[in-house]
């Protein structure tokens, strides 16, 4: 990457790029859906592949000049197949939402019925929220997590499915801290004669590493993002059995996209290659161990976690029991001032609003990339607690901010 050329031609953008690099270096990225890619992935994404049109698929393009694009896309596909054990993979979706759109387009008609998890219980916009295309094109019903336990209510799902008769059931979530039992959802889908889409956007890396059970070979379709727990740069991916390969490929192109973002596909190829290395399993395991350490220490401080803990890379703190007068947004802002970047999040049974909800969500993929272990994560839990407990105390913010500086110095991210 040659950031110097940006500096020469466009100082304003160069300032922002430098600022962003420093921001990531100097703060703790704990947004559960974020991570830091390698310099190699950054370089691939910044390559000359951004210049070309490669509509079509490897070996069958609608444009000349695609021989290297073919090489790169085939590498991404082959590596993805190996990582997730899928028969067929499409690496062209520009994002996770578009991967979902590709699946819907492949097998649903407008007006068909989708059954998905309520957004405030951990679902995703692209699973059928009214503000999203999916909510506008399809008829949507929602299932929930159990109000008491915070775990998925599989029996409730079966009951809702029997009543609603969905054409597709969507599993896989944005803010669900527990292991998903894919087979149980598949049983419900079988009983309802519905397709099952497992959206593993958050846990693609954990599934690839075998740290979370895999829906590949269980669900009809598996979609993922390539930038959350796997570090392959922004994008989406769709996996399915061979029987749906043609439907999926033609839904993605020409169904919903034109030319693929070949530079991003190069990032995916490089990031998938990195994930095939043995130390990626260690990374994924450490990500989960770190989240467990974070969860335990937060609970020791008396904070309430939805479901009482975590099996994956994220925790969801419900502030209401311990800090009923402290909205999530206040905590998010105070933590950002202290250099800990995470997001306010709705919790099951939300009593505030989507914009200023009662919870905060925190993840460990980014911290683990910079080398944090359980001890470091316990310290981060202490820091989060101090701010949650006194979000208006500038002395506390300043002191936490200093300790964040020490941690980010101890665990550097990118070499300059």
Angle ∠(380,381,387) on CA atoms, nearest 5? 90
Instruction: Determine if 172 is a binding residue for ligand PLP (CB under 6 A).
Output: yes
- Work out how close the CB of 323 gets to ligand PLP at its nearest, in angstroms, rounded to a whole number: 26
- DSSP, collapsed to helix, strand or coil, labels residue 199 as strand
Tell me whether residue 119 is annotated as binding.
yes
* Sign (positive or negative) of CA dihedral 229, 234, 239, 242: negative
Which residue lies nearer to ligand PLP by CB, 180 or 288?
A: 180
Q: How far is the CB of 205 from ligand PLP (least distance, A)?
A: 13
**Tokens, residue 378:** 């316990």
Residues 6 or more apart whose CB falls under 8 angstroms from that of 15 comprise none
**33 belongs to the binding site for ligand PLP (CB under 6 A):** yes
Residue 202 binds to ligand PLP (criterion: CB under 6 A): yes
Contact criterion met (CB below 8 Å) for 192 and 143:
no
- Closest approach of ligand PLP to the CB of residue 332, in Å: 18
Q: Please give the torsion angle defined by the CA atoms of residues 206, 211, 217 and 218, in that order, rounded to the nearest 10 degrees.
A: -100
Kindly tell me which of 225 and 290 has the beta carbon lying closer to ligand PLP: 225
125 is in an annotated binding site: yes
Report whether 353 belongs to an annotated binding site: yes
CA 206, 212, 75 angle in degrees (round to 5)? 45
Residues 6+ apart with CB under 8 A from 206: 212, 229, 284, 287, 288, 312, 313
Nearer of residues 118 and 379 to ligand PLP, judged by Cβ: 118
Residue 236 C-beta: closest distance to ligand PLP, Å: 6
Tell me if 73 contacts ligand PLP by CB under 6 A: no
355 is in an annotated binding site: yes
Rounded to a whole number of angstroms, the minimum distance from the CB of residue 307 to ligand PLP is: 17
Specify the 3-state DSSP secondary structure of 384: helix
Report the C-alpha gap between 283 and 58 in whole angstroms: 31
Residues within window 375-394 making contact with ligand PLP, judged by CB under 6 A: none
Binding of ligand PLP at residue 143 (CB under 6 A)? Answer: no
With CB under 6 A as the contact rule, the residue among 116, 126, 132, 171 that binds ligand PLP is 126
- Among residues 28, 29, 86, 96, the one that binds ligand PLP under rule CB under 6 A: 96
Of all residues in the shown chain, the one whose CB is closest to ligand PLP is: 96
Contact by Cβ (8 Å): 35, 203: no
Cβ atoms of 255 and 245 within 8 Å: the answer is no
**Closest distance of CB 240 from ligand PLP, Å:** 16
- Contact in structure between 387 and 370 (CB atoms under 8 Å): no
**Binding to ligand PLP (CB under 6 A): which residues in 253-282?**
none
Give me the torsion for CA of 373, 408, 369, 273, rounded to 10°.
Answer: -150
Q: Does 173 bind ligand PLP (CB under 6 A)?
A: yes
Identify the residue among 101, 201, 230, 316 touching ligand PLP (CB under 6 A).
Answer: 201
Residue 119, CB half-sphere, CA atoms under 13 Å: how many?
A: 17
Q: State the minimum distance, in angstroms, from the CB of residue 268 to ligand PLP.
A: 13
Number of residues interacting with ligand PLP: please give it, by CB under 6 A. Answer: 14
Is 272 within any annotated ligand binding site?
Answer: no
Q: Is residue 174 involved in binding ligand PLP (CB under 6 A)? A: yes
The answer to the question of whether 354 is labelled as a binding residue is: yes
Helix, strand, coil shares, percent, the chain, to 5:
50, 15, 35
Q: Scanning residues 224 to 243, which ones bind ligand PLP (CB under 6 A)?
A: 225, 236
The H helix count followed by the E strand count for the chain is 16, 15
The answer to whether 330 contacts ligand PLP (rule: CB under 6 A) is: no
Judged by beta carbon, residue 14 or residue 125, the one nearer ligand PLP is 125
Question: Of the candidates 24, 45, 97, 346, which one interacts with ligand PLP according to CB under 6 A?
Answer: 97
Is residue 95 at the binding interface for ligand PLP, with CB under 6 A as the rule? yes
Distance CA(74)–CA(56), nearest Å, equals 12
DSSP state of 259: S
CA distance 220 to 217: 7
Annotated binding site: 119, 123-125, 353-355
- Using CB under 6 A as the criterion, which residues of the chain lie in contact with ligand PLP when the complex forms? 33, 95-97, 124, 126, 172-174, 199, 201-202, 225, 236
Annotated binding site for (6S)-5,6,7,8-tetrahydrofolate: 119, 123-125, 353-355
């Amino acid at each position: 990457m040659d950031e110097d050329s940006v500096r020469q031609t466009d100082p304003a953008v160069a300032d922002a790029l430098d600022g962003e690099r420093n921001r990531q270096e100097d703060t703790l990225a704990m947004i559960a859906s974020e991570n830091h890619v390698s310099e190699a992935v950054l370089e691939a994404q910044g390559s000359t592949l951004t210049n070309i049109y490669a509509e079509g698929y490897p070996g069958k393009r609608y444009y000349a000049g695609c021989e290297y694009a073919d090489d790169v896309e085939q590498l991404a596909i082959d590596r993805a197949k190996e990582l997730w054990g899928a028969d067929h993979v499409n690496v062209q979706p520009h994002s996770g939402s578009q991967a979902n759109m590709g699946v819907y387009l492949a097998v649903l008609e407008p007006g068909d019925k989708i059954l998905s998890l309520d957004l405030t219980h951990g679902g995703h916009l692209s699973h059928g929220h009214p503000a999203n295309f999916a909510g506008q094109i399809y008829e949507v019903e929602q299932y929930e997590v159990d109000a008491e336990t915070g775990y998925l209510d599989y029996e409730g799902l079966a009951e809702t499915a029997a009543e609603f008769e969905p054409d597709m059931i969507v599993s896989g979530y944005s803010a669900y801290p527990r292991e998903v039992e894919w087979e149980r959802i598949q049983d419900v889908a079988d009983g309802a004669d519905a397709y099952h889409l497992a959206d593993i956007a958050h846990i693609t890396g954990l599934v690839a590493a075998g740290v979370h059970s895999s829906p590949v070979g269980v669900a009809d379709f598996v979609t993922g993002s390539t930038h959350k727990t796997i570090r392959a740069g922004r994008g989406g991916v769709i996996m399915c059995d061979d029987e749906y390969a043609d439907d999926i490929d033609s839904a993605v192109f020409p169904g919903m996209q034109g030319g693929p973002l070949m530079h991003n596909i190069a990032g995916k190829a490089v990031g998938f290659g990195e994930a095939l290395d043995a130390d990626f399993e260690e990374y994924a395991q450490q990500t989960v161990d770190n989240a467990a350490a974070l969860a335990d220490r937060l609970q020791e401080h008396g904070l309430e976690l939805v479901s009482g803990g975590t099996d994956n890379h994220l925790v969801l703190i419900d502030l209401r029991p311990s800090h009923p007068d402290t909205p999530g947004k206040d905590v998010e802002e105070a933590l950002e001032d202290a250099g800990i970047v995470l997001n306010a999040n709705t919790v099951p049974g939300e009593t505030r609003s989507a914009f200023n909800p009662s919870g905060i969500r925190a993840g460990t993929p980014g911290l683990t990339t910079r080398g944090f272990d359980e001890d470091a994560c316990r310290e981060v839990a202490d820091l989060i607690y101090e701010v949650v407990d006194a979000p208006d105390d500038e002395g506390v913010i300043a002191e936490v901010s200093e300790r964040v500086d020490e941690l980010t110095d101890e665990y550097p991210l990118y070499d300059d």
